[in-house]
C-alpha cells in the first residue's frame, strides 16, 4: 500500500511537472511570437511612413517649417508627428480617421487641408501600423498621455 502511494505521488509530481513545463514553454513561445509580431508591425509602419508620409511630415517626423502658420492658400503646413507636434494629443480613433478619411473630413465645417485621406491607398492594418510606428517615437510622457486620452473615449 505504501509503495502504491509513493508511485501515485511520484506519478502526480511527474505529471504536474510536465504540465508546468508545457505551460511555461507555451508562454515563452507566445511571448516570442507577440514580440516578433510587434516588430513586424513596427517595421511595416516605418516603411509605410517612409513611403506615404515622410514627403510632407518629414523623414524624422519633424513636419514642415512654421507648421502653425497658414500658407498663402490659407491651409496649414503638415504638422510634426514627433513629441514637438500635437499628434499625441489625439485619441487613437481620431488619428485613424484622419489618416483614412483626411483632416477636412474629420474637422468638417468647410475646413480645408492638404492632408488627404488614404482609404484608397492604405489598408486599415497599414494605417494602424504607421500609427504604431509614430507612437513608438514619443517619449513616455506623451505616450502615456495619448494612451489615457484613447482609453477615455
Global pTM? 0.76
pLDDT of residue 153: 78
Mean pLDDT on 33-45:
78
Angle between helices 124-136 and 2-48 (to 10 degrees): 90
The CA-atom distances, in angstroms, between 10 and each of 20, 40, 65, 66 are: 15, 44, 72, 74
CA 89 to chain CA centroid, Å, is 15
How many C-alpha atoms does 8 have within 13 Å on its Cβ side? Answer: 5
Q: What is the CATH number of domain 40-151?
A: 1.10.760.10
pLDDT band for 110, please (50, 70, 90 cuts).
very high
Model pLDDT for residues 70-100, shown as the tens digit of each residue: 999 999 999 999 999 999 999 999 999 999 9
The residue among 30, 79, 61 whose CA lies nearest residue 133 is 61
The CA-atom distances, in angstroms, between 100 and each of 41, 112, 113 are: 18, 16, 14
Higher pLDDT, 57 or 5: 57
Q: Is the pLDDT of residue 20 over 50?
A: no
What is the C-alpha separation between 129 and 68, in angstroms, rounded? 27
What is the C-alpha separation between 107 and 47, in angstroms, rounded? 27
pLDDT of residue 97: 97
pLDDT of residue 34: 47
The CA-atom distances, in angstroms, between 22 and each of 10, 96, 117 are: 18, 39, 47
Query: What are the boundaries of each domain within the chain?
Result: 40-151
Q: Is the pLDDT of residue 8 over 70?
A: no
Q: Is the pLDDT of residue 31 over 80?
A: no
Amino acid at each position: 500500500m505504501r509503495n502504491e502511494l509513493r508511485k501515485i505521488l511520484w506519478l502526480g509530481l511527474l505529471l504536474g511537472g510536465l504540465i508546468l513545463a508545457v505551460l511555461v514553454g507555451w508562454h515563452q513561445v507566445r511571448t516570442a511570437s507577440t514580440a516578433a509580431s510587434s516588430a513586424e508591425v513596427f517595421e511595416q509602419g516605418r516603411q509605410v511612413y517612409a513611403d506615404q508620409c515622410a514627403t510632407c511630415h518629414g523623414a524624422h517626423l519633424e513636419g514642415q517649417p512654421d507648421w502653425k502658420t497658414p500658407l498663402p492658400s490659407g491651409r496649414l503646413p503638415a504638422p510634426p508627428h514627433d513629441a514637438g507636434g500635437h499628434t499625441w494629443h489625439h485619441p487613437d480613433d481620431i488619428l485613424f480617421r484622419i489618416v483614412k478619411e483626411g483632416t477636412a473630413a474629420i474637422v468638417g465645417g468647410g475646413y480645408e487641408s492638404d492632408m488627404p485621406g488614404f482609404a484608397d491607398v492604405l489598408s486599415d492594418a497599414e494605417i494602424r501600423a504607421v500609427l504604431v510606428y509614430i507612437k513608438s517615437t514619443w517619449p513616455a510622457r506623451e505616450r502615456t498621455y495619448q494612451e489615457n486620452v484613447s482609453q477615455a473615449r
